[in-house]
Structure 1
Amino acid sequence: MAQRSYEFERYLNVRTAFGPSFAPDGKRLSFLTNITGVAEVWSVPFDPQQLTPAWPEQLTFRGERVAGAIYSPVADMLLVIGDLGGNESMQFFLLNADGSEWTALTDRLDVMHIFGGWSPDGTRIAYSSNARDPHYFDVYEHDIATGEVRRVLQQDGTNYTVGYSPDGQQILVTRRISNTRAQLLLVDLPTGQIRALTPDPTVGERGAEYSNAAWAADGQGLYVLSNRDRQFRALAYLDLATLELRYLMEVNWDAEHLALTTDGSFLALSTNEDGYSKLELFDVSQGWEQRQLLNGLGLPAGVIYDLCWSQDGVRLALSYTAPDDAMDIYVWDRLAGVITRATQSARGGIPRSAFVHPQLVRYPTFDGREIPAFLYLPQQAQQNIPVVINVHGGPEGQSRPLFDPVTQYFVSLGYAVLAPNVRGSVGYGYDYQSLDDVRLRMDSVADLRAAALWLRERSIAAADKIVVMGGSYGGFMVLSAITTYPDLWAAAVDIVGIANFVSFLENTGPYRRKLREAEYGSLEHDREFLEQISPIRSVDQITAPLFVVHGANDPRVPVGEAEQIVAALRERQVPVEYLRFEDEGHGLIKRSNRLIAYPAIARFLQQYLRLDQ
């Protein structure tokens, strides 16, 4: 029986639920879901004894993206985070848990606010903001009762708040030097003293990552994920007295999520093994050396998006998705030893059997390396068919085996989709993620050429029907691929991509420029090279028809990048179609806009790949 294709709207009707947060008493669970077309806050009573989930209640009605909602540790209220039109200038709001009262805590709509946590007594919140200078993030504390705001750390850098110490007297801060290099700091609130917990990443060549830091039960140290002096990010213990960092586990994959109960007794650890998530739960109440493995949960192969413990440490909530199923919230009861699906997102009326699982493949590239990739094949014809090579953003990103409506839609139309993790991707070790830094940038584009040739040699792809598509940095990869290897591509799709590294670095959000220069190179030292590799410089090489999508409010890759490439191709009479969305930022968030864009992309590809012939 032939695989059935549904309208794209049906695939977008596959909803997602994520971002769980427990009420202080553990009896309600808030989460975000896009049921209404954009992520809003919902809440559901949670009783693990119920055979079916209770009906959830919608709490926010902004019509704009909500990026997070976190319960107070002591009261039935939520701290809600959201922006306008995708501009990423996140604002804070207080919301009663029943939805009855909504209060704005911030009113600088041109300023970014990054939430860092509630104080243990629920009287204060810590956050980072670039209010003083758009280039830099300082650390602030906001008193909920009085509304008083005070700056507790000022520095011309990127300082992100991690959270409070168990006694509420200290704030843990991550100072980022780049997307892959950071330092941990501890701010003492009574004295204002700032203590460096890890080495200065600007000294020496490499630096390291530190993430998910959480206080141990005795308060004498931190559990943290780090890749200092090693290839992969692993669970470590940082002694606060000696500042010794001791690794607790030896694995050849990245640990990615760490969640510790409020009292530091139970630890959940998620590891990214070749793109798939593995979850382990430990009793560490007597210290790591006396740990007890509680459970591995045994979820089907998929991806864990986030983790959250209840205040009493009895339940662990996680957002989880598989390639053939919607992202939903699951809750593991530590005492009962059972896991429950707390939300039940719709699959758009499409049978689960219609969704395709990918194959994990590796293909050779120019220097003998093997590039990992996920290959989605239609359920019927699997040879000499049209193929979309879908490139992730980042560059420090990774294609993962999660549910993606766009991928499933194109597979249902008869395309194969290859999602490669070219050099520069995370998840495969420090050396691998560094293989595209600055002057090595074009080696990652050569990995796309190798993907196209491999697809042809394996007779998976029809030689004249290979499409390259990507967003953000993936959009740069698309434009670079069609200028550097123009004969390989039948068509291309650029979503919020970089066309000109010089104008991108000049116009991206000022807080991002320094972080991105560490990866791409700086205008001061590398301008000539950045000009040389910018796709706009080689636009006369483009022969493939191009579809361009961009949001007018994009603070990361300004819309001028799209306008440059579109204007240049129209001047040269190369086929180009352009969709500009005035109410979007970096990517398409709103369902109404996605309903316009992706069917239009499908029609565009059908026309230029001549699929109706």
Structure 2
Amino acid sequence: MTAVTQHFIERDDGARVELFLSSPPATTNGAILFVHGNQGGLLLGGKEFADNGSLVRFSSRLGITAAAVSQPGFGASGGPADFCGPATQHAIIAALAFLQQQPMVDPDRIVLYGNSRGAVASAMVATKIQTLRALILSSGVYDLRDAYERSSRGLQQTIKTESGATDRAFSDRSALHDAQRITAETLLLHGVNDDRAPVDQAERFSAALAKAGVPVSLHRLDAGHRLAGQLVMPFLKDFLTRIFRPAVTLH
């Protein structure tokens, strides 16, 4: 019986990182790490994926280890939140390192999947970790300064409060400028009507990855910032089934 367990690990600065994990009972395969978005102020962190059944579903149907990390300031991870910045990126890196050490995980077959602000941080992690098998990013921003200048006042205030909105802060959160350092095959999912992360962010990032020789596919979906499961699942099913082949496909 596949179950979800809660773990606490440490970032490189000693801060606590919360991680939820679901592994199949007797299969050594790859792993997928989910990185959540803003969550509408609920601050559930990785628990969102445990509560909605995603971890068990992905783990059991694909025969992989499925995990979800809580960003700083979310769930039981140490804060404060830093809007996808170094602390958040180091939390994700610590979670990836933990997965690589698990006996049920093939360290060469780990997929990182970030949504919204989780996509911003995950894209930056992919510029630093070249051992990822694949990268999935949905509704993300890859040039934060450009997105900041086009954002609502409320979102601008959140970014400024958490990051400082300095030149260094924007640079530390803008994977577009370091696309040539990414090696993982990348799947981009983005709503054409996204009012928080304009679709041209994904288009520009996709072009930069392709120019750098990274295998990349971009799917523009008829949606806003939030992408419904029925829209993204066909793309995820095809992508992940191939990445983790042989495996049972999602339904």
Q: TM-score range by the shorter chain?
A: 0.7 to 0.9
d(CA) in 1 for partners of 2:154, 2:87: 28
1:376 alignment partner in structure 2: 22
Give how far 1:609 is off: 4.5
Identify which of 577, 583, 588 aligns with 2:227: 588
After superposition, what is the alpha-carbon deviation per residue over 1:551-597, rounded to whole angstroms, capped at 9, x for unaligned? Answer: 11111222222112111112223111111113x111213xxxx3352
d(CA) in 1 for partners of 2:119, 2:138: 6
- In the TM superposition, what are the counterparts of 1:322-471 in structure 2 within 5 Å? 356-378=2-24, 380-382=25-27, 384-394=28-38, 397=43, 398-400=45-47, 401-405=50-54, 408-427=57-76, 432-434=78-80, 436-437=81-82, 441-471=85-115
CA contact (8 A) 1:426 1:433 kept: no
Identify which of 224, 235, 239 aligns with 1:604: 239
2:175 alignment partner in structure 1: 535
d(CA) in 2 for partners of 1:441, 1:541: 18
Residues 466 and 561 of structure 1: CA distance in aligned 2, closer, same or farther (over 3 Å): same
2:159 alignment partner in structure 1: 516
TM-score by length of 2: 0.86
For the residue of structure 2 that corresponds to 1:484, the secondary structure is coil
d(CA) in 1 for partners of 2:67, 2:96: 10
For the residue of structure 2 that corresponds to 1:492, the secondary structure is strand
1:507 alignment partner in structure 2: 150
Residues 392 and 560 of structure 1: CA distance in aligned 2, closer, same or farther (over 3 Å): same
Give how far 1:404 is off: 3.4
Give how far 1:375 is off: 0.5
CA contact (8 A) 2:18 2:46 kept: no
For the residue of structure 2 that corresponds to 1:554, the secondary structure is coil
d(CA) in 1 for partners of 2:129, 2:58: 27
2:139 alignment partner in structure 1: 496
For the residue of structure 1 that corresponds to 2:91, the secondary structure is helix
d(CA) in 1 for partners of 2:90, 2:236: 25
Q: Give me the identity figure in percent.
A: 23
After superposition, what is the alpha-carbon deviation per residue over 1:401-451, rounded to whole angstroms, capped at 9, x for unaligned? Answer: 3123575145321121111113232455xxx331x437x921221222222
Backbone CA RMSD of aligned residues: 2.4
Structure 1: stretches of 5+ with no match in the other structure = 1-352
d(CA) in 1 for partners of 2:97, 2:220: 33
Which residue identity does 2:174 align to in structure 1?
A: S
- In the TM superposition, what are the counterparts of 1:542-557 in structure 2 within 5 Å? 542-557=182-197
- In the TM superposition, what are the counterparts of 1:159-308 in structure 2 within 5 Å? none
For the residue of structure 2 that corresponds to 1:433, the secondary structure is coil
Q: RCO (CA 8 Å, sep 6+): is it higher in 1 or 2?
A: 2
Residues 532 and 359 of structure 1: CA distance in aligned 2, closer, same or farther (over 3 Å): closer
For the residue of structure 1 that corresponds to 2:127, the secondary structure is helix
d(CA) in 2 for partners of 1:405, 1:455: 17
Which residue identity does 1:460 align to in structure 2?
A: M
1:267 alignment partner in structure 2: none
d(CA) in 1 for partners of 2:59, 2:101: 22
CA contact (8 A) 1:499 1:561 kept: yes
For the residue of structure 1 that corresponds to 2:190, the secondary structure is strand
CA contact (8 A) 1:490 1:544 kept: yes
Residues 574 and 407 of structure 1: CA distance in aligned 2, closer, same or farther (over 3 Å): farther
For the residue of structure 2 that corresponds to 1:513, the secondary structure is helix
1:578 alignment partner in structure 2: 218
Which residue identity does 2:212 align to in structure 1?
A: R
After superposition, what is the alpha-carbon deviation per residue over 1:477-535, rounded to whole angstroms, capped at 9, x for unaligned? Answer: 22011112122x1001001012111111112234422233211322xxx0243124411
Residues 611 and 437 of structure 1: CA distance in aligned 2, closer, same or farther (over 3 Å): same
Which residue identity does 1:357 align to in structure 2?
A: A
1:569 alignment partner in structure 2: 209
For the residue of structure 2 that corresponds to 1:574, the secondary structure is coil
Give how far 1:361 is off: 1.3
1:148 alignment partner in structure 2: none
Give the number of aligned pairs: 242
Larger Rg: 1
d(CA) in 1 for partners of 2:6, 2:181: 33
After superposition, what is the alpha-carbon deviation per residue over 1:31-74, rounded to whole angstroms, capped at 9, x for unaligned? Answer: xxxxxxxxxxxxxxxxxxxxxxxxxxxxxxxxxxxxxxxxxxxx
Residues 375 and 405 of structure 1: CA distance in aligned 2, closer, same or farther (over 3 Å): closer
Which residue identity does 2:26 align to in structure 1?
A: A
d(CA) in 2 for partners of 1:358, 1:499: 32
d(CA) in 1 for partners of 2:55, 2:33: 13
d(CA) in 2 for partners of 1:410, 1:546: 21
Residues 387 and 423 of structure 1: CA distance in aligned 2, closer, same or farther (over 3 Å): same
CA contact (8 A) 1:508 1:558 kept: no
For the residue of structure 1 that corresponds to 2:183, the secondary structure is coil
Which residue identity does 2:31 align to in structure 1?
A: V
Residues 385 and 363 of structure 1: CA distance in aligned 2, closer, same or farther (over 3 Å): farther
After superposition, what is the alpha-carbon deviation per residue over 1:234-277, rounded to whole angstroms, capped at 9, x for unaligned? Answer: xxxxxxxxxxxxxxxxxxxxxxxxxxxxxxxxxxxxxxxxxxxx
For the residue of structure 2 that corresponds to 1:486, the secondary structure is coil
Structure 2: stretches of 5+ with no match in the other structure = none
